[in-house]
Structure 1
Amino acid sequence: MNTKNALKLFVALNRTCSTLANADQENIRHYGLSRSAFSVLELLYHKGPQTVQDIGKKVLLTSGSMTYVVNKLVEKGFVHRNICESDRRVTYVGLTSSGTDFMKGIFPEHEQHIAKMFSALSDEQMVMLTETLQQISTSIK
């Protein structure tokens, strides 16, 4: 393996990730949400109620950050907490009807924004790039 090529790829991926994250953050900010809050809402919108621990793992938040984000979403009326009947140590978080309506209203626009960010690639290129990035991720773990 050519280490110079690996370094160039590393720098290019980092710059691209930063550019994508900044563009995504700008788009999400105009909905009045942080990236973390949007990630939680998006997960719940697509997967239904989740335990607090599972949400933290899936959106890569620490338990302290998770509590803060969920509290803010509860205050906005977008999510609710339910304590598990069979194990009172477990708390589920789910979308309220207001949260579901909010996501139904903004998600199509968000999808269009994401599609626009990748508009320079063909569908085949996106599939190939996704597979390559998954291969890299798997090899690092």
Structure 2
Amino acid sequence: MELVDEKLRAITVILRAARSIEDVVRKDVTCYGLNTTEFAVLEALYHKGDLPIQIISKKILIASSSITYVVDKLEQKNLVRRSGCANDRRITYASLTEQGHTLMDDIFPKHKAKMAQLFNDMEEQSLHDMNEALKQIGIKSQSL
């Protein structure tokens, strides 16, 4: 097979794998009454602590216009609360509520185990090589 064809095939394989992984993630978090974006916000706050809403938007790669809606939904579920920044009124922080912490303490280990199952059949070196290759592709794609 010609090298150009193999490169095009690689793109198809990566995109199909990404869709399949997204489906696994979606099914997993739906079990907890969340969508993937809500879970991503909770996960960011769970691991990073209180964050400005604008930073959350950048971390989980969603539009800043959408993050407000997602945080609103999480507030309605009493999982997240907003608070203003004492030094800059333009900045609003989001933080997990006690109920949000309790939920993440319960579901994150299960989610982590489920995601790890995706890679159970891979050798550690293969997993490392794959991560490095995907990083290189990501970096290269940003420069095109």
Question: How many Å apart are 1:105 and its aligned residue?
Answer: 0.3
For 1:51 and 1:126, locate their aligned partners in 2 and report how far apart those are by CA, in whole Å: 33
Question: How many Å apart are 1:52 and its aligned residue?
Answer: 0.8
* Aligned twin of 1:6: 7
Q: Give 3-state SS (helix, strand or coil) of 1:24's partner.
A: helix
Deviation per residue, 1:108-132 (Å, 9 max, x gap): 1001100111112122211111111
Q: TM-score, normalised by structure 2?
A: 0.95
For 1:86 and 1:46, locate their aligned partners in 2 and report how far apart those are by CA, in whole Å: 24
Identity among equivalent positions (%) equals: 35
For 2:7 and 2:37, locate their aligned partners in 1 and report how far apart those are by CA, in whole Å: 31
For 1:86 and 1:24, locate their aligned partners in 2 and report how far apart those are by CA, in whole Å: 37
Q: Give 3-state SS (helix, strand or coil) of 2:93's partner.
A: strand
Q: Give 3-state SS (helix, strand or coil) of 2:137's partner.
A: helix
1:56 aligns to 2:57 (yes or no): yes
Q: Give 3-state SS (helix, strand or coil) of 1:119's partner.
A: coil
- After superposing on structure 2, the runs of 4+ consecutive aligned residues of structure 1 that deviate more than 2 Å are none
AA matched with 1:125: S
Gaps of 5+ in 2: none
Q: Give 3-state SS (helix, strand or coil) of 2:78's partner.
A: coil
- Count of residue pairs the alignment pairs up: 141
Question: How many Å apart are 1:64 and its aligned residue?
Answer: 2.1
Q: Give 3-state SS (helix, strand or coil) of 2:29's partner.
A: helix
Higher mean C-alpha deviation, range 49-58 or range 120-129: 120-129
* Aligned twin of 2:91: 90
* Aligned twin of 2:30: 29
1:18 aligns to 2:19 (yes or no): yes
* Aligned twin of 1:133: 134
Task: Quote the RMSD (CA, aligned, Å).
Answer: 1.1
Question: How many Å apart are 1:77 and its aligned residue?
Answer: 0.7
Deviation per residue, 1:78-129 (Å, 9 max, x gap): 1111100110010010111110110000011001100111112122211111
Q: TM-score, normalised by structure 1?
A: 0.97
Gaps of 5+ in 1: none
Deviation per residue, 1:13-59 (Å, 9 max, x gap): 11111111011100110010000000000000001111111000010
